[in-house]
Chains A and B, each alone.
Chain A
Amino acid sequence: MIKETAAALGAKIAAGEITSVQATQAHLDRISEVDGRVHAFLHVDPEGALRAAAAIDARIANGEQLGPLAGVPIAVKDVIATKGMPTTAGSKILEGWRPPYDATLTTRLREAGLVILGKTNMDEFAMGSSTEYSAYGPTYNPWDLTRIPGGSGGGSAAALAAYEAPLSIGTDTGGSIRQPGAVTGTVGAKPTYGGTSRYGLIAFSSSLDTPGPCARTVEDTALLHSVIAGHDPMDSTSIPQPVPDVVGAARRGAAGDLSGVRIGLVREFTGEGAEPGVMSVFRDAVESLTKLGAEIVEISCPHFLYALPAYYLIAPSECSSNLARFDGVRFGLRVGDDGSRSLEEVMSVTREAGFGPEVKRRIIVGTYALSSGYYDAYYGQAQKVRTLITRDFTAAFEQVDVIVSPTTPFVAFPLGSRTSDPYQMYLADLYTIPTNLYGGPAISVPCGLSEGLPVGLQIMAPTMADDRMYRVGAAVESVVGTLTPPAL
C-alpha cells in the first residue's frame, strides 16, 4: 500500500476498498520501520493521525462525497504551523513550541480530509541545501544513506522516497522544494509566489518564501497543489485570482504530446560547475522532449548570473528582521533568565544558544546589508538585480512557453562534504534561485540517474501559469517514468 500513488490511495479510500485508517497505519508502520535510519521526521503523531483518519472513514461511510485526496496521509515540513503539534522550524530556539493556531495551508489540508502524519526535518529556518543544518540532526537520502537528501526540505523529500508518506508539504525560498526533489528522485513544485498562502509559514525571507506540494508523481503533486493553492485574505501578498487547472494540465501532459510547446534553454546556464553526468542526463531529457513534439529555443537571460549574490543579500536581509522575534520573551527557548542578567542580555544569550551557525551567518550578513550607509550598496543593489532578472524572465516568456534547466548542478553529495564552505553549499541552488527572485512557478521532475543517483529536470513557467509546468512535467514523466530507490 505504501508504494501506491496518492491518487490511487484516495480513489480506493473513496470507493471503500481500503480505509484511511489502514492507509495511515501502513505509513505509520513504515515510519517505525525505516525512520530510525532516514530521520525524515522530527515529530510523528500516530494518535492524531489515526483519529483524523477514523473521522474521514466515518464521513465516507456516511456517504459524504469528499475530495480526491480525502483520507490520504501527508507529511508537513516543520516550518508550517500546526495547532497543538510541535513546530520547530528545525531550530532549538523553538524546541517544544506548539502553535495555538493552524497555518492556512494546514487548515486547507484538514478541510480536504488529508491526514497529517507528522512534521518533517529541515535545515534550521529553511536555511541550507542539505538538511545538515537541522538542530535535530540530518536526514539521510533513501537512495544512499551516506548522502544528503537536499535541503532545506530534505525531510519532506526523503519521506516520499522512503515511502513513509505519499505526499508532503515543502517550502521553497531558493530551491528548498525542488533541489531535495531532484536529489531524492521525487517531484517538487514551487507555485507562483502568492499562489499559496504564507499565513502560518514561519518566515525566512518573506518576499521569496513559497509553500508547495511534493509527491512521487506529477499528478499527485498537482492534486496536492490544487488543495493548498488559492487566495487567502490572511496573507496580503496572496494573489486574488483563480488557481490554474494544474490537475487537468498534468493529465493532458501525461498523454505525451508536446506539439506546439516552445521550450527555452538558457544560454547563460552553460553547465560550468555542474557535474558532467548531470548535464548528460539533462540533455537526454531535452532530446526526449523534442521527440514529444516540443520546439527547443535558446534564450538569453544575462542577469541570471547575478541571481545567487542578489539572493544572498535579499534573503539574509529579510531573515535578519523576521528572526528578530525569537528573543525568549513570549515563546520558545529562554536562556540565562536567572536574575543575574539584564533583559537585553537574556535576549542575547537566548539567541546565542538557540540559533545554529548558518542562521547566525545569515542574520549577521543581513543586518550588515540593511545598515545605514550600506543599504544602497547591498540591499538596494540586490533589489535592482531582482528587477533585471524579472525582466529577463518576462522577455524570455515572450519567446517560449516554459524554460528548462537541470534542477541542481550535482547529484546528492556525501554528508559533511560541503558544510565547511558555505559557498559550495550555496551553489546547489544556482539554477533554482532565479525563479524565486522573479516569483514565477517551477517544478522539478526526475529525469534519470547519474552514477546511480537521481537527476532532476526543472521546468519554469510565467507567474500564474503553473499549469504549463505540470503539463511539461507530466510529459517528461511519461517518458522517464518514476524512479525507484534501492530497498532500505
Chain B
Amino acid sequence: MLSFDDVVARFEPVIGLETHVELGTRTKMFCGCPTMFGAEPNTQICPVCLGLPGSLPVANRAAIEATIRIGLALNCTIATWCRFARKNYFYPDMPKNFQISQYDEPLCVDGYLDVEVDGVTHRIGIERVHLEEDTGKTLHVGGATGRIHGATESLVDYNRAGIPLVEIVTKPVPGTGALAPAVAKAYVTELRDVIRTLGVSDVRMEQGSLRCDVNTSLNRPGGDWGTRTETKNVNSLRSVERAVRSEMIRQGNVLETGGTIIQETRHFHEDTGDTTPGRSKETATDYRYFPEPDLVPLAPDAEWVASLKAALPELPRVHRQRLQQDWGLSDLDMQSILNAGAVELIEQTVAAGASPEAARKWWLGELSRRANESGVELASIGATPAQVAQLQALVDAGKLTDKLARQVLEGVLAGEGDPAAIMAARGLEVVSDTGALTSAIDEAIAAHPDVAEKIRGGNHAAAGVLIGAVMKATRGQADAKTVRELVLQRLS
C-alpha cells in the first residue's frame, strides 16, 4: 500500500475543478419565483419552474450581470454573442427533463485565478464560466440509506428548481505535485472569497450554494496525462483537500499494482474521507445538447461589460496586500493568517475595535487551536469577530486578565452570549476594588509575618508567597501585577 508520499514520488497529478455557485438573485433564473433558502417545500414554484406544458423561460438579467462580473473578476473574455443550450436527460428533479445550460458557447471564457500556497503563487487557468438553472431536490424516504434503492417513496422539492447556477470550470492544472490537495483547497477558497467580495452569492458550502467537483488523474513523470475521475459530493473546503489526497492515493495504488483507472464519477464520503464509484462514463447519458430555442441569444453589449468591469470591487488578493501593509505584517505572518482562513475574521475583528495584533493573537492562537481540536472551519467555530473584539476590549480595560478572558471565551463558544454578559454571569471580572484587595493583603501579611519581615528587609522576591495567598483568596480574579505593587507599597 503506497502512502501519499510514495504516490507523489512516483506519479505527477493533474487536477481540475468544476464549481457550481448558486447566485443570490432575488428571483429565479427563468421566472419570477423567490429564491429564499429553507422555505417550505414546493412553495416557491410557478408554471415556468415546474415546467408545466406551455410555460416559457425568460432570462434573468441580474443573473447574467452577476455571471459577467464573476467572469471579469476571473480575468475572462466575455462573449459578445452566445446562447443557452438544452441538456437533455430524464430525472424527476428536472421539471422539463432537460436543463437549460450553456454548451459550446459559454458566457465567459479563458481566464485565470492566482492562488497562493505557502507563499508561492499558482496561476489556475479558467476554461469557462457559464450560467444554468439548478434542479429540484429529491428526498428518498423509507429506505435505510436515504438513497433511491430501498426507498418506499421519493419526494421532490422544486423550490430549488430554476435557481440561477454559475458553473466555473478550470483548465487542467498540472505540476503541483505533493501540493495538489493544498492548491485545490486554495483555489476553492480564493474563488469563494472572490465571489463573496462580488456580493453575488453567499457561497456557503454547507447550504449547497457553493458545490465542488474535483477531477484528478495521475501520470508517470514525462508520460501522457492519465485517465481522470470526477469526485462529487465535496462539501467543504477541508473536503476538497481530503478528496484530492484520497483520490491520488487510491489511483496511485491502482496504477502501481498494474491496474487501470476507469473514467467515472466517484462520491466523496465526509466520514471516511474515501471515494466510492458512482456512475461510469461508459453508461453516461448522451445529453443531446442543442441551442435553447425558447430563448433569444445573449449579446452583452461592450459598454455594459466595460461599465461592469470598471465597477468591480477590490478583489481579495489586492485587498489582502493592502491589509498586510495596514497591519504591518511580514509575508510569513500574512501567509499563516491566510492558511488559517482568518483574513476576513481578523479584518472584521479589527473593524469592531480590536488592534490587529490582538485580533491576530485570538484567531490564530486560542481559536485556531480549538477549531483544530473539534475539526471545524475557523469561521464556523461559534465566536463572531464582534465578540472577540469585545473580549479584547475587556482585557484592555483591565476587567479581564488573559486567563480570565480564556474562560469567558469558553462561555462564548458554548453559546452563553456575549463576553460582557458571560463575565458578569460567571462572576469573572478582575477584582479591582482596592478596599477588597487591601483587606486580602492585610490578611495575607497577618498569616505570613515571617515573609512580611523578609520583604521589609528588602527581599522583594519573597513577595510571591503573599501574592499567591491574595490570588487564592480572590479566586484568581485579581490582577497579579496590581497585587504585587500593593504588597510592596504596604511593606516598604
Contact = CB atoms under 8 A, between A and B. Distances in A.
Interface of A: 80-81, 87, 89, 94, 97, 99-101, 103, 198-203, 205-207, 233-237, 317-318, 320-321, 324-327, 329-331, 343-344, 347, 367, 370-372, 375, 379
Contacts of A343: 92, 148, 154
A330 B51 contact: yes
Interchain residue pairs A-B with the least CB separation, the first 10: A324-B97, A206-B293, A370-B288, A207-B293, A200-B54, A202-B53, A81-B54, A325-B96, A202-B54, A325-B51
Contacts of A199: 54-56
Given A370-B88, A370-B288, A375-B290, A324 B56 contact: no
B471 interface: no
11 contacts: A80-B54, A81-B53, A81-B54, A100-B47, A235-B56, A237-B295, A317-B290, A324-B90, A327-B90, A327-B97, A372-B288
Contacts of A87: 53-54
Contacts of A97: 53
Contacts of B53: 81, 87, 89, 94, 97, 99, 202-203, 325-326, 331
Most chain A CB within a 10 A radius of its CB, from B51, B90, B98, B289? B90
Contacts of B90: 324, 327, 344, 347
Contacts of B98: 321, 324
A375 B86 CA distance: 14
A236 B288 contact: no
A237 B290 contact: no
A317 B289 CA distance: 11
Contacts of B443: none
Interface string B277-291: 000000000101110
A273 B86 CA distance: 38
Nearest to B84: A236
Given A94-B53, A324-B88, A324-B90, A236 B59 contact: yes
A201 B53 CA distance: 8
- Count class of interface residues, chain B: 20 to 34
Contacts of A371: 286, 288
A318 B50 CA distance: 19
Interface of B: 47, 50-59, 86, 88, 90, 92, 95-98, 148, 154, 156, 286, 288-290, 293-296
Given A324-B90, A343-B92, A367-B288, A99 B293 contact: no
A87 B52 CA distance: 12
B58 A236 contact: yes
B52 A370 contact: no
Nearest to A344: B90
Contacts of B296: 236-237
A325 B294 CA distance: 15
Given A206-B293, A330-B51, A372-B286, A234 B95 contact: no
Contacts of A100: 47, 52
Nearest to A103: B54
Given A202-B54, A331-B53, 16 more contacts: A81-B53, A205-B293, A206-B294, A234-B56, A236-B56, A236-B294, A237-B295, A320-B88, A324-B90, A324-B97, A327-B92, A330-B95, A367-B288, A371-B288, A372-B288, A379-B290
Contact of A330 (B50, B154, B288, B293): B50
Most chain A CB within a 10 A radius of its CB, from B96, B286, B290? B290
Residues of A contacting B: mostly = loop
Contacts of B52: 99-101, 330-331
A321 B54 contact: no
A253 B52 CA distance: 42
B108 to A, nearest CB: 21
B288 to A, nearest CB: 4
Contacts of A99: 47, 52-54
A34 B172 CA distance: 70
A95 to B, nearest CB: 13
A344 B154 CA distance: 13
Given A97-B53, A199-B56, A236-B58, A325 B288 contact: no
Contacts of B88: 320-321, 324, 370
A320 B95 CA distance: 15
A24 to B, nearest CB: 26
Contacts of B59: 236
Nearest to A197: B56
Nearest to A200: B54
A203 B290 contact: no
Contacts of A80: 54
B96 A233 contact: no
Contacts of B293: 205-207, 237, 318
B93 to A, nearest CB: 9
A321 B56 contact: no
Contacts of A234: 56, 58
Nearest to B53: A202
A371 B88 CA distance: 10
Contacts of A317: 290
B47 A321 contact: no
A42 to B, nearest CB: 15
Contacts of A205: 293
Nearest to A331: B52
B380 to A, nearest CB: 36
B139 to A, nearest CB: 14
Nearest to A91: B53
Contacts of A324: 88, 90, 96-98
B399 to A, nearest CB: 61
Most chain A CB within a 10 A radius of its CB, from B50, B54, B58, B97? B54
A329 B154 CA distance: 11
B80 to A, nearest CB: 19
A106 to B, nearest CB: 10
B392 to A, nearest CB: 54
A318 B86 CA distance: 10
Nearest to A314: B293
A330 B91 CA distance: 12
A379 B47 CA distance: 29
Contacts of A321: 86, 88, 98, 288, 290
Contacts of A320: 88, 288
Most chain A CB within a 10 A radius of its CB, from B53, B55, B98, B156? B53
B90 to A, nearest CB: 6
A105 to B, nearest CB: 10
Contacts of A327: 90, 92, 97
A198 B56 contact: yes
